[in-house]
Every structure is written in structure tokens, then in C-alpha cells.
Structure 1
Amino acid sequence: MNVQAKIGSQEKSRVGAARVGIGGPVGSGKTALIERLIPAFAARGISIAVVTNDLVTAEDAERLRRSGLIDPKRVMAVEAGACPHTVIREDPTLNIAAADELEMIFPNVELILIESGGDNLASTFSLDLVDWWMFVIDVAGGDDIPRKNGPGVLKCDLLVINKKDLAPHVGVDLPQMLADARNARGDKPIALTNCRAREGIEEIVDLIAKQLLFR
């Protein structure tokens, strides 16, 4: 995995834990990415918490609570109830409240990951909710995704192309997919990952630490 290019620092709008959004289509590997990020941040002594979003369940939150990777009390679930875009973009009140509550319970938390569940290529995060956000797609979803110019792909601070190991098995030209993503995003960074094999995780942690935690 390579993080492509540098990104400009974005000033935090609040005092307290940095808040990072993780969005993307269903099945792209958002929760799997979080499962790899949790121990990677822990190894650096960075205290984290997680907010997950699902439509009418707490499935992703329960998966993380059962994982043994994080104190279950540090994982909070938000049920969107309808369009998942609403609670991360138009009216992120529920997510803001969840993140605020985690900060109250765990005053030492330095980073809160906010995962949006059930989204598509139009998913974007309100900057009232997060300081920085990434959008996760995967090669099995089709190598034409970067060419579709969805707002998620274009506007995120980091585009993550996951499951790179599947490219030869699903007929995807990975170098061309990466070239299309670069063409769509200009100099904004892109990461190639294989979450199952933990490939590319440390580079993402490095970028988050540089941009948000240790400026």
C-alpha cells in the first residue's frame, strides 16, 4: 500500500478528541479496517473509541465489542433509521451526541472513529461531525468506481481501495483502477489495502497521526 501524495492540514473545529469518519459502500471493508486500526493505534499508545452507524441494528458495534480488540464500553452504536447519509451529513446530531458521550466517559480518549454504515458512493461527512474522513471502496465492487466521480470518492481526505489481493480473481486491472483514482482525485491521497493481511494499515495510521494527532 502506498499513501499517494500529501494532504493539507485541516484545522480542528473543537477541543478534545480528533474525530475521523470512515464511510463507503456496504461490504467494502469498513469494519474490517477498524479492526486493524484499533490494535495499530493501541501499539502507539493512542487511546481510541468507536461510533458505528447501521440502519436499524447495532450489528457492527456488536462485532467490535465481541472482537476482544477494544473495551466494549468504548464502542457506541447509532441507528440511522432511514437514509444513512442523514446522520453523518444533513443532521449529524446523533453521532455528535454519541462522540460527546464517549469523551465524557473516557476523558483520555484521543481519537474517535465514526463508521457510517449502509452508504453508497454519495456518502460524505459533515465537518461539524468529523475533522477528517476517509472513504473505503474495494476492487470487488468494480474497477469503474473511481470513474463514477461519486462525492465520497472525490471529497474524502483519504480514499482507501481495499481488497487489493482480489484484483486478479475478479478481473480488475489494479494499476488502471489506481490511475483512474489519481485522475479523479488529483493530488489527494489514496491508499491500497488488504485488511485481511494487515497490509497498508500502518501507513494509514501514520497519515492520521501526522494530520490530526501530532501536528
Structure 2
Amino acid sequence: MPDTTARPGRPVPALRLGVAGPVGTGKSHILATLCRGLAGRLSMAVVTNDIYTDEDARFLRTAGVLDPERIRAVETGACPHTAIRDDVSLNLDAIEDLEERFGPLDLVLVESGGDNLTATFSPALADAQIFCLDVAGGGDVARKGGPGIARADLLVINKTDLAPHVGVDVRRMATDAERAREGLPVLPLSQHDPDSVTRLCAWVEDVLARHRAGEHSPRDPGPMAPHSHGHDEQPQADRGSDPAPVA
């Protein structure tokens, strides 16, 4: 376990929080929500990932949730998995640059490029991971499993306000998710439900407190199986191999 305990003259490294999930589940909105809710209390920065665009970074800059200079876009030029799992150097370089310019930082949010149910972060990049689903993807998605659904530090079921319009029972979907996750936390979330937003921010602050105290170990959700991708851009196969899971 990395030593993150504060000592005189050495600040605790920023908590690096990865946010992954399929295309359209609302990852960028979750980042915006966290920036709005926490930026007044924490020193923050954001790194977004996508294949050939900086659209997510531009959305966050336009939303005015953070100083635009604190938001960096990584254009992977390949499947986003390569930059969050196989070779994380592009993301680590972006984080290092942000820390040099704006540090010490408390929290760095790292958004994965939109993908399917297999995207997970290497523990060399993310200290903690949120995996995002949304009700518009169908109430049965949580039952389908996958490493992010089953083992990310937090599973967010997003856009719960849309459930009546898409015929999804949020309570049942959350129950299915809790069963798949065997006790790991599940958070139904809506931007129109302030209580759920408060719970999301409180969860992040709790992880940060444990990180600062040296009580949080990065969780590796596990390796990804070879698969095809649902990007708008041309699909590309994953390359390389996964690092050994962290105990």
C-alpha cells in the first residue's frame, strides 16, 4: 500500500479518482457535479480521455465548474482503454503537469473515454474508481456484471429522474446492483435530487480522508476480456496486458 500519510514538508499526494462507464451514461456531468460541490472546499483538477476529441474537456470548461486551465484533455488516438489501463503515461503526464502548476492538489478527477461495460482503470493511475450506469441503458444492465459494475469502489446509477420515462424500476435496479457488488456501495443519482448529489460528494470526501490517513488502498476491479467497442469512432482492439491485481 502506498504511503500517503502526511509528514512535515511533504504534502499528501492528490487523490486520483477515475470515472468510467459506457457512452452517454453521464460521466462528464458527474465530474461537473463534483466540481460544483467540492471546488469551494478542495483544490481540484480534471483530466478527460477520448480518442480524437477534447469535447468532454470543452463541455466542462464551458460549464464554468472549474478554472479552465485546471481541465486537461488527453486524446488517446486509440481505444481509451489503452490510456487508462494498458499505458497510463499520457494521463500521468497530464496529472504531473497539473500538480506542478496548481499543486498541492487535493483531488484529480480522471474521466475515461466512453466505452462499454469493461472499462476499468489501472491502480497505477486511479486510487479509487467510480463506475457509471444510467437508467436509460435498461434496468437489467446491472445484472449483466463486468469488472466495473462488480468491483469499482462506487457504482453510480445515474439519471434516475428519467426512470418513469424509460420504464425502469430504480429500486429493483439498485437491488440487482447491490447483489452483484456483494456489499460495495451503490448510489442512485439525479442532478435534480440534491440529496443524492450530497451523498456523492460525501462519499468522495470520505475516500479522500482515508487516502490522507493512509487507510485507503487502490482497488483493481480486474482484467478486461478482449471485446469490441461501441464508440462513434472506428473501434480498435485492446492491446497489451493487465497488471497484476492489487490485493
TM-score exceeds 0.5: yes
Structure 1 partner of 2:231: none
Matched, 1:92 2:97: no
Q: How far is 1:196 from its partner?
A: 4.7
Superposed displacement of residue 13, structure 1: 6.2
The one of 134, 143, 157 aligned to 1:147: 143
Offset from partner CA, 1:181-213 (integer Å, 9 cap, x none): 011001100101002554512212111211223
Instruction: Name the % identity.
Output: 47
Gaps of 5+ in 1: 1-10
The aligned residue for residue 29 of structure 1 is: 26
- What letter corresponds to residue 148 of structure 1 in structure 2? K
Distance in 2 between residues matched to 1:62 and 1:170, nearest whole Å: 29
What is the match of residue 50 of structure 1? 46
Are residues 204 and 143 of structure 1, via their aligned partners in 2, closer, same or farther at CA, if it must alter by over 3 Å?
A: same
Does 2:200 match 1:187? no
The structure with more radius of gyration: 2
User: Counterpart of 2:116?
Assistant: 120
Q: Is the 8 A contact 1:55 1:118 kept in 2?
A: no
CA distance in 1, matches of 2:194, 2:2: 29
Tell me the TM-score normalised to structure 2 length: 0.79
Q: Which runs of 5+ in 2 are unaligned?
A: 5-11, 214-247
Q: Which runs of 4+ in 1 moved over 4 A?
A: 11-15, 196-199
Distance in 2 separating the partners of 1:27 and 1:188: 24
The corresponding residue for 2:203 is 207
Task: Give distance in 2, aligned partners of 1:59 and 1:12.
Answer: 34
If asked which structure has higher relative contact order (CA below 8 Å, sep 6+), I would say 1
Counterpart of 2:55 in structure 1 is: 59
RMSD value, Cα: 1.5
For residue 73 of structure 1, report the CA deviation from its aligned partner. Answer: 0.4
- Label 1:188 to 1:176 Cα distance change in 2 as closer, same or farther (>3 A): same
Corresponding residue number in structure 2 for 1:173: 169
Following the alignment from structure 2 to structure 1, what is the Cα–Cα distance between the partners of residues 101 and 48?
Answer: 17
Count of residues in correspondence between the two structures: 204
